[in-house]
Amino acid sequence: MARRNREAFEFVKRDRLYRKRVQDPSGEYIAVYARTPDELEKKVREYDQLKDLSETGKRNPLFSLYVQDWMYLHRQSIGHGTAVSYQSLIDTNINPHLGNKRLRDIKPADIRAAMNKLAHKSESINKNTYMIIQMVFAFALENRDVITNPCPPLPTGGVPAKHRFALEQGQVDVLLEAIKDTNAYPFCMIALYSGLRREEILGLQWDCVRLKGTPTIEVKRALRFEHNRPVVTEKLKTPAAKRIVPIPDLLVSYLAELKKNSKSDYVIANRDGNPLSGTQFKRLWNAVRCRRTGERTYKKWVDGEMKTYVIYAKKGQKANHQKHSYIIDFEVTPHILRHTYITNLLLAGTDIKTVQYLAGHEKSKITLDIYAHLTYNRPEDIIIKVEAAFAGKSTGEHDGEEETV
């Protein structure tokens, strides 16, 4: 008896469906059904593609396991800080929504649903989370672990970042006065008057500080925390971050005095002369945080039970069991100090390309996108152009002509 042709289409009258027998990835023959020949042909093509998948793709692992393998392979190339950030996004935003699904079973609708659950989080978290999902599936497609990339084109979602304002001169004076006797003072002085990033300040050594001739700071090192441990490297955020920044007399005189008493190669160091650890930097910045007004929460053991208390620190109020008072009534972060430096340059009329260089931005577009409103949209500057545009125009009078009805 002749063997049935396994490649032929069959029409099953009882079910009113078309059928074709094909090999699955394991080599077993299975029947594929469809309502039309075209639909059946599409399903057959998909099974043919399955045979070309890698062994990983044929196993169709859980997405959570596949993402961890991807992280393991890419950890060294993206650096420790970025790897920690990626892992946090994977654990918090990806695995809870996609981790229990099989790699090949994830559809565009699944990814949309996962991203919708992040709508209450910031734009940057949404953007970076989706970027990781895209990179994982691009890697999977390249290695034949999936047939197609299911990532749909998604619009930017999430809550827009809150606009941060630069400190005014009066606020700068209040800040520096509040922390003048703390370890945070040198950090804030360098940030305010050189615009260095936090990692650049903490990695700054005296061999890069030139106080004679044209006073400058050469930025060529950065300090990053790996499991709280300080790691100083010459690998900066971008190639543009490597720069030489002229510094004003105010900072020159302060650094000269600081250098006289320094026993370390680092401008900002711990008691042993070593660069700060993550915990030590938190303690340093705590000098600023503890002098800010606003709501404060603390815990205390009462009758064998831990209780939480909330107080509101008012301006001028003395802190309990401390010598300082709450006098900083505005937001301050290390980035706001850098933001203040860049803002002051632009308000002084410094051109965009120069600001881009001093800030260490890789592209002038970054500088323009963030600070264009300071340079191009100030009312006191725009009014000149508005007046020129409408000079000599009619003010509503008919200049002697009669109105025709």
Tell me, what's the pLDDT at 395? 54
pLDDT of residue 394: 59
Cross-strand pairs, 301: 306
Q: Provide, for the chain, the percentages of residues in helix, strand and coil under a 3-state DSSP scheme, each rounded to the nearest 5.
A: 45, 15, 40
Between 379 and 208, residue with greater pLDDT: 208
What average pLDDT does the segment 147-176 reach?
Answer: 87
- Among the residue ranges 35-49, 306-320, 353-367, 372-386, the one predicted with the least confidence is 372-386
Question: Using the 8-state DSSP alphabet, how is residue 93 labeled?
Answer: I
Identify which of 32, 33, 34, 57 has the alpha carbon closest to the alpha carbon of residue 47. Answer: 32
Kindly tell me if the per-residue pLDDT of 155 is higher than 90.
no
Least confidently predicted of 70-74, 278-282, 319-323: 319-323
Model confidence at 336: pLDDT above 70: yes
Q: In the block, which residue shows the tokens 């910045």?
A: 285
Rounded CA-CA distance 253/63 in Å is 57
* 358-405 tens-digit pLDDT: 999 988 887 777 776 665 666 776 777 788 888 876 555 555 555 444
The average confidence (pLDDT) of the chain is 87
Give the pTM.
Answer: 0.74
pLDDT tier for residue 199 given thresholds of 50, 70 and 90: very high
Instruction: Of 107-121, 171-185, 375-389, give the lowest mean pLDDT range.
Output: 375-389
Asked which of 192-206, 220-234, 359-373 is least confident by mean pLDDT, the reply is 359-373
